[in-house]
């Protein structure tokens, strides 16, 4: 069974990964790809100042960071790469005096730092370079060490290329990316039945947001999905926190 910290690490990776993957693809397809944050017309806005290429580089960087986070295999690298991007985005939104947006970006930056903090032991050598450190693998390091993670990364790179060719192929490859990364987590052998549900619900949400155009009915479904995820997560964290002190809870966790 995964520890609470490990499960939260995976869920934060999935959340930030989708946020930035979808935001980047949406920019590259000029708003033809579902996402939560924007602006989809960034390239058009910056092209007025001769910065169209810069906007494309930002979008591609978002897709790469998001793909690495979703992969689990290279999530730490994706989290490190995401920091300067989040800081730059926050600085732009503050300087442009966008209402509310800086708070959203500050939240993403905070989650980014939380994610890095959860793996802080891997950075100890940076602060004392004259000492030898043994980096001991954590439970989540074993996730993504299979062909499905590599397939997902490959689909991510192809998705970027297809944004310049076909929106239909872009959507298809993104769907294959979601399926590959969901498979690599579920096949890790570390999840209980409850954990599996908690991992599958975010991927279902990704598909609905990406391909559902967020119609009124689907918007309500997303809200229900988010509430269900939150309630199940609270219950799962409760089980995880007490599994070593309560024999009955430990048995419940084991059965799940």
The structure's pTM equals 0.90
Position 253 scores a pLDDT of 52
Owner of token pair 């004259």: 130
Question: 84-93, 146-155, 209-218: which has the highest mean pLDDT?
Answer: 146-155
CB under 8 Å to 66, separation ≥6 — which residues?
A: 16, 17, 18, 19, 20, 21, 22, 23, 24, 78, 156
* pLDDT greater than 60 at residue 252: no
Instruction: Please provide residue 221's backbone torsions phi and psi, each rounded to the nearest 5 degrees.
Output: -65, -40
**Which residue, 28, 21, 49, 45, is CA-closest to 165?**
28
- Does residue 170 surpass a pLDDT of 80? yes
Residue 61: exposed, middle, or buried by beta-carbon count in 10 A (0-12, 13-18, 19+)? Answer: middle
From CA 69, how far away is CA 63, in angstroms rounded?
10
The answer to whether the peptide bond before residue 39 is cis (omega within 30 degrees of 0) is: yes
92 to 85, 182, 186, 188, 203: CA distances (angstroms): 11, 33, 38, 39, 30
Which range is most confident: 55-64, 215-224, 227-236?
A: 227-236
Kindly report, residue by residue over 142-160, the tens digit of the pLDDT. Answer: 999 999 999 999 999 999 9
User: Tokens for 21?
Assistant: 């993957």
Region of 72 please: left (phi>0), alpha (psi -120 to 50) or beta: left
The C-alpha atoms of residue 256 and residue 251 are separated, in whole angstroms, by 9
Q: Provide the 3-class DSSP secondary structure of residue 187.
A: coil
């Amino acid at each position: 069974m995964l520890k609470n910290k490990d499960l939260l690490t995976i869920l934060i990776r999935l959340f930030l990964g989708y946020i930035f993957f979808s935001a980047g693809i949406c920019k590259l397809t000029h708003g033809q790809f579902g996402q939560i944050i924007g602006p989809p017309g960034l390239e058009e806005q910056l092209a007025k100042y001769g910065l169209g290429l810069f906007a494309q580089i930002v979008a591609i960087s978002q897709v790469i960071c998001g793909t690495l986070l979703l992969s689990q295999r290279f999530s730490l690298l994706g989290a490190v790469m995401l920091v300067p991007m989040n800081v730059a985005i926050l600085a732009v939104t503050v300087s442009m005096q966008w209402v509310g947006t800086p708070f959203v970006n500050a939240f993403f930056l905070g989650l980014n730092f939380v994610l890095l903090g959860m793996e802080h032991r891997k950075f100890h050598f940076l602060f004392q370079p004259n000492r030898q450190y043994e980096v001991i693998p954590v439970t989540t390091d074993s996730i993504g060490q299979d062909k499905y993670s590599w397939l997902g990364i490959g689909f991510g790179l192809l998705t970027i290329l297809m944004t310049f060719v076909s929106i239909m192929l872009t959507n298809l490859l993104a769907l294959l990316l979601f399926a590959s990364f969901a498979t690599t987590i579920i096949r890790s052998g570390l999840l209980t039945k409850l954990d599996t549900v908690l991992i599958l619900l975010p991927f279902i949400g990704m598909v609905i947001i990406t391909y559902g155009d967020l119609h009124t009915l689907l918007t309500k479904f997303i809200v229900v999905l988010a509430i269900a995820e939150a309630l199940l997560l609270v219950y799962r964290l409760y089980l995880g926190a007490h599994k070593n002190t309560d024999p009955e809870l430990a048995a419940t966790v084991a059965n799940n």
